[in-house]
Chains A and B, each alone.
Chain A
């Protein structure tokens, strides 16, 4: 479905995507990366908005640039929230479906159907300028699905959605993939993508750092040192236990009640902690995995990628 071979995209001297090679088969895929990682550039390349500086891209077997056949087979929801403000959601979606090649009547029915799927029926006659951020996001998704493409390409589709909106979109996308539709979702939030896609591409600094299932990515991360900050009443006793079990790379004390450990075995520590707390009378008040943020995770992967 999607094939990239040594694709690099340069904006002058700035690298947008750096030597990416991958093949994606039909199915659901998550493109994960922090802000500025190159996700949007990647999506612009595969949707034929940008040409690669180096390398080749094949979408459904063809070059995506000005490829009308491919445009019939994809639905795109960009990350930007910009839309025309003085037309209604229905008018806008209908217009875009008409541009897809449908008659006015078919386009109208499809637009109504898509907006209904996104819970936008009540608001679809209102001007877009009156929409909330979440409503705009749902309208954007409606225009992407309305012509029933084979592949949905969504950039940050959960941005601005309230919990109900997230649920609606998550269910819609799950249903979409269950029925055989393919999906590529770009996001900087792991759990959003986890909910709808079993396969991940991790991108940072324009590089494809890792790919695979959630388990495979976790396995890859097993050898990456994690930092855990623990606030407790007896940090030195806890540190001794950690050293005895040989599960830490380094230990730092910060004040009388805080200890930060670097470890390649975070899960082991999480398993031991309740037992040590009970045996040594340690009261753990706070526990932070400082590598929980996706940014740190990607920094770790980037270090691995560079051989650091």
Chain B
């Protein structure tokens, strides 16, 4: 045991507990790997980001889809001539509300600006001078943002389906598919935002919104090969595959819903996510982030 362990913690002789140069710490304990460091970051971030403001935002995320579905239900009950939309249309609304809007907004708030916050808060240096600190911070904060967003989306989905009482033939199946899409959506979009955050740390949220509008809204709906490089293309295809829905003739989605099996879309999204996280990690490793005014 080193001087610190023997004297400070064992015999409490604080006057003679200065660093020992013979050892580098608590022996083998100082070998915690990256995985544990990532867990450390997640745990710390969960604690640190549990603020009133964030809880309020989280609650809005939960209640937003539930509120809209409640309005839908009230309208259905109040209007005797109300004709409920078909199952596919209801599913698409739910998909648009939760795996898309809620997840994208949550991640925009909680993943895109994490590096920007560290740099502007001038706390980045404390993390970046630790062995593996940059990578652990990137992944830990990414997973923390994903956890916050996914939890809000899943709770919102559950409450929304209960409140909305959607007239679908397989509500449990729809919930399970949506829940899976929420998780995949959070992981994939979070990875994209991580890259954007690492590349454009001063305008991460603005660039993220631009990316969403250009790629995930416009490009993903183009009937061309390029739409396969968007998350949205794979998510909507998964929704159709997992729900066993067929696309009607004259439905605009006919052009973007392909015939590939679901596993291909899952593999594409997993690969996409890993690629994006690797890219974000490499950018962090290579770029110089100045946190001080002094030149």
Contacts and interface: CB of A to CB of B under 8 A. Distances in A.
A106 interface: yes
Nearest to A145: B19
Interface stretch (B64-72, B238-246, B269-277, B284-292): B284-292
B18 A78 contact: no
B75 interface: no
Contacts of A104: 40
Nearest to B7: A113
A145 B294 CA distance: 24
Nearest to A69: B131
A102 B292 contact: no
Most chain A beta-carbon neighbours within 10 Å: one of B20, B21, B26, B123: B26
A217 to B, nearest CB: 23
Nearest to A16: B295
B30 A100 contact: yes
Interface string B2-27: 10100011000010011111001110
A84 B117 CA distance: 11
Most chain B beta-carbon neighbours within 10 Å: one of A49, A74, A86, A87: A49
B126 interface: yes
A39 B32 contact: no
- How extensive is the interface on chain B, given as a class? 35 or more
Given A68-B132, A181-B18, A40 B32 contact: no
Interface stretch (B41-49, B171-179, B208-216): B41-49
B130 A96 contact: yes
A102 B25 contact: yes
A35 B295 CA distance: 10
B17 A102 contact: no
A80 B18 contact: no
A151 B197 CA distance: 32
B199 interface: no
Contacts of B294: 35-36, 38-41, 79
Interface in A45-63: 47-51
A127 to B, nearest CB: 11
Given A50-B288, A150-B21, A87 B48 contact: yes
Contacts of A74: 129
B289 A66 contact: no
B41 A99 contact: yes
Given A11-B295, A86-B51, A71 B121 contact: no
A83 B124 CA distance: 10
- 9 A-B pairs closest in CB distance: A68-B131, A82-B122, A179-B18, A40-B294, A148-B19, A99-B130, A80-B122, A106-B26, A71-B131
19 contacts: A16-B295, A66-B134, A68-B132, A72-B30, A80-B125, A83-B123, A87-B44, A87-B48, A91-B47, A95-B44, A98-B40, A99-B136, A101-B30, A101-B131, A106-B30, A148-B19, A178-B18, A180-B19, A181-B21
Given A72-B24, A147-B30, A179-B19, 18 more contacts: A11-B290, A68-B131, A80-B291, A86-B51, A95-B44, A99-B127, A99-B136, A101-B31, A102-B26, A103-B26, A104-B40, A106-B26, A110-B4, A149-B19, A150-B21, A180-B21, A181-B18, A181-B19
